[in-house]
Structure 1
């Protein structure tokens, strides 16, 4: 091998090593700013209960169809079939070994708002931290206080089934670099306080876009079609409805009719919602009426879109 060939080989190897190092650095889990979590207040459990219902924790982590106090038994186990694999909701009860009973408030905030485990691993975005990233850390502190009052449940949920390359969790760090954003999904000019409250409930805590917005090829929400409906959920076999305020969506609904659905599950046509939306309605019915009214005001204030499916 000539000296020139050796030089080129070494230079190529150095470039590959440099690129690999850059990717490793770029894909590293990023926690919340230390100053932000250091200033986390002591949470209020009563407010935290409202966060619990708004964030839909029971919908994924309690047994499907649970009622009454069973909605607070957060043993996990719900399966989610996606194009990227099958994900299973974990036990998030207060069990110190099988659940999250040993977590700190900071651990919960990093999990919800950055998708990072206490051990420093990426969570898959089947956990809707891409929406929770818009939450206020004070609300996470309140949620933490409420969850500490819930029962500890033994048992670790079954593992998911995710194939290559999606089982390489480090790659999720690159996905986050592209798509994890704590800014609002839509820009609202001169919005009232009511509409802004609705925006927070829908875009952050309620994570409505996770089901009602189409996704791109990498599984991220397409904000240009915000709440325009999406392809069928595997568990239900039908498209997720368009809830933007256009002809294809809920443009013909009044705010009062939206509020009524969020509380009772009945549409203006006297039909009733089913499937996963029935669980969402059960959660939202626990909120103050003002919050359901804020959600309705927001849904009437956002841009209208044709169906996204």
Structure 2
């Protein structure tokens, strides 16, 4: 027999509200959580409830949940971690350790945008847990809201555990976000300008060197880099890449297998048939290839 509910008894749904990401939700629910007590039967703990109040065991369980990928939110262990973070204070503290270790996930949400959803007084707490994440280069404009947002977030926050960054570069963007107090030693640069609906294609222009301005800034922002990789198809001038390697004293490995070199100096020399300009020496070639061997 069907039950007729009054309008007040019917569940209310707001389909305009987007589901928050795991890191947004944990930040929003922190102040609503109860102390570190079991959610039910507070006076009579079962053996299972007592076990789940031991931080070491709880941390091992959550660590296995965190291994369940970081792709689409509904289909992975991050959904379970988010639900667990809303049980009580203890579960919250253990869950956010894994949710914020690499909060960007495969969806490549940029770190400043994630921290923008956190109360300003709590941003430093979450930033101190981040070990890896994503950044997007941007183009500064006078009065641009995106630039002001980046500066406001990053100028007041430090990232003491940050070690790995994926930097995405889109069309006409030539400024790398500056982050403070980090120990980044691994960098993956992905040029999105050549992305199509069918994947990535090699740059069409032989003199496309827009990434030169990006890699010129990187040694100043990430001076401790040891491993650098260029993902997908990227075009950089050979001389800019050589200067890039020379300015990174700790560089051990450079993966440039997908880089197509375009040197505007060489292009101009061929166009003008100028015989006076010197070509790069064999020593310079050896120095550059030492990092790619």
Look at both structures and tell me which one has the larger radius of gyration over its CA atoms: 2
Instruction: Choose between structure 1 and 2: higher strand proportion.
Output: 2
Instruction: Choose between structure 1 and 2: higher helix proportion.
Output: 1
Greater RCO, 1 or 2 (C-alpha within 8 Å, sep 6+): 1
